[in-house]
Structure 1
Amino acid sequence: MKNYRLQRLSDQPIIQTTDVQPFIEGYEVLGAFNPAACQFGDEILLLLRVAEAPKAEKGYVAIPLIEEQDGVPTLVVKTFKEPEEDYDPRVVTIRGKAYLTSISYLRLARSRDGIHFTIDEKPFLFPARMDEAYGVEDARITFLDGKYWITYTAVSEHGPGVGLAVTTDFINVERVGMILPPPNKDVTLFPEKINGKYVLLHRPMVSDIGKPSIWLAESEDGVHWGNHRFLFGGRGLTDTQFDWEGAKIGAGPEPILTDEGWLVCYHGADPTHAYSLALALLDKDDPSKVLDRSELPLLTPELSWEREGFFPNVVFSNGWVQKSDGKIWVYYGAADSGVGLAELIQE
Structure 2
Amino acid sequence: MTEPDLLRRWPGNPLITPEQLRPSRLDWKVDCAFNAGVVQAGDETIMLLRVAESVAQVGDETICVPLLEADGEAWRCTIKTLRLDDPDYDFADPRMISLRADPSQVYLTSLSHLRLARSGNGTDFAVDETPFLFPDTRYERFGCEDARLTAIEGRYYINYTAVSDYGIATALAVTDDFREVERLGLIFSPDNRDVCLFPRRIGGHHWCLHRPAPKHLGTPDIWIARSPDLLHWGHHQRLAGAVPGGWEASKIGGGAQMLETDRGWLQIYHGVDTDQRYSLGALLLDLDDPRIVRARLATPLARPVEEYEVTGFFGNVLFSCGAVIHGDELRVYYGAADRVMALGTVALPDLWAAMGV
Structures share a fold, TM > 0.5? yes
Q: Shift of residue 258 of structure 1?
A: 1.8
Q: Shift of residue 43 of structure 1?
A: 1.0
- Of 149-158 and 84-93, deviating more is 84-93
**Residue matched to 1:87:** 92
Q: Could you tell me the TM-score, scaled by structure 2's length?
A: 0.92
Equivalent pair of 1:11/1:303 in contact (CA under 8 Å): no
**Residue matched to 1:334:** 336
Unaligned stretches of 5+ residues in structure 1: none
Q: CA RMSD in A?
A: 1.6
Q: Shift of residue 78 of structure 1?
A: 0.7
**Residue matched to 1:257:** 260
**d(CA) in 1 for partners of 2:216 and 2:11?**
41
Cα deviation 1:96-137 (Å, max 9, x = unaligned): 321111000100011111111111011010001110110000
Whether 1:300 and 2:308 are equivalent positions in the alignment is no
Equivalent pair of 2:91/2:97 in contact (CA under 8 Å): no
Whether 1:117 and 2:125 are equivalent positions in the alignment is yes
- Of 197-206 and 285-294, deviating more is 285-294
**Residue matched to 1:59:** 61
Q: Shift of residue 86 of structure 1?
A: 5.7
**d(CA) in 2 for partners of 1:301 and 1:11?**
17
Letter in structure 2 aligned against 1:20: L
- Give the alignment partner of residue 310 of structure 1, picking from 287, 307, 313: 313
Cα deviation 1:32-65 (Å, max 9, x = unaligned): 0011101112111110000000123313222211
Q: Shift of residue 260 of structure 1?
A: 1.9
Whether 1:201 and 2:209 are equivalent positions in the alignment is yes
**d(CA) in 1 for partners of 2:295 and 2:324?**
22
User: How many matched pairs?
Assistant: 339
**d(CA) in 2 for partners of 1:112 and 1:164?**
27
Cα deviation 1:74-102 (Å, max 9, x = unaligned): 00111112266562101110353211110
Equivalent pair of 2:156/2:174 in contact (CA under 8 Å): yes
**d(CA) in 1 for partners of 2:336 and 2:36?**
10
Look up the SS of the partner of 2:309 in the other structure. Answer: helix
Whether 1:222 and 2:230 are equivalent positions in the alignment is yes
What are the equivalent positions in structure 2 for 1:117-266 lying under 5 Å apart?
Answer: 117-236=125-244, 240=245, 242=246, 244-266=247-269
Q: Shift of residue 5 of structure 1?
A: 2.7
Cα deviation 1:165-215 (Å, max 9, x = unaligned): 000100010000001111100001001101000000000011131012000
- Of 291-300 and 167-176, deviating more is 291-300
Equivalent pair of 2:91/2:98 in contact (CA under 8 Å): no
Letter in structure 2 aligned against 1:24: R
**d(CA) in 2 for partners of 1:339 and 1:24?**
22
Letter in structure 1 aligned against 2:209: L
**Sequence identity (%):** 44
**Residue matched to 1:32:** 33
**d(CA) in 2 for partners of 1:205 and 1:276?**
19
**Residue matched to 2:290:** 287
**d(CA) in 1 for partners of 2:76 and 2:325?**
39
- Of 275-284 and 255-264, deviating more is 255-264
Look up the SS of the partner of 1:164 in the other structure. Answer: strand
Distance 1:43 1:129, change over 3 A: same
Letter in structure 2 aligned against 1:313: N
Equivalent pair of 2:259/2:324 in contact (CA under 8 Å): no
Q: Shift of residue 11 of structure 1?
A: 5.8
**d(CA) in 1 for partners of 2:156 and 2:124?**
23
Look up the SS of the partner of 1:5 in the other structure. Answer: coil
Look up the SS of the partner of 1:131 in the other structure. Answer: helix
Equivalent pair of 1:320/1:331 in contact (CA under 8 Å): yes
Letter in structure 1 aligned against 2:111: I
Q: Shift of residue 70 of structure 1?
A: 2.2
Q: Shift of residue 12 of structure 1?
A: 2.7
Letter in structure 2 aligned against 1:295: A
Unaligned stretches of 5+ residues in structure 2: 351-357
**d(CA) in 2 for partners of 1:344 and 1:162?**
30
User: Taking CA–CA contacts closer than 8 Å with sequence separation of 6 or more, which of the two structures ends up with the larger relative contact order?
Assistant: 1
**d(CA) in 1 for partners of 2:136 and 2:182?**
12
Equivalent pair of 1:10/1:340 in contact (CA under 8 Å): no
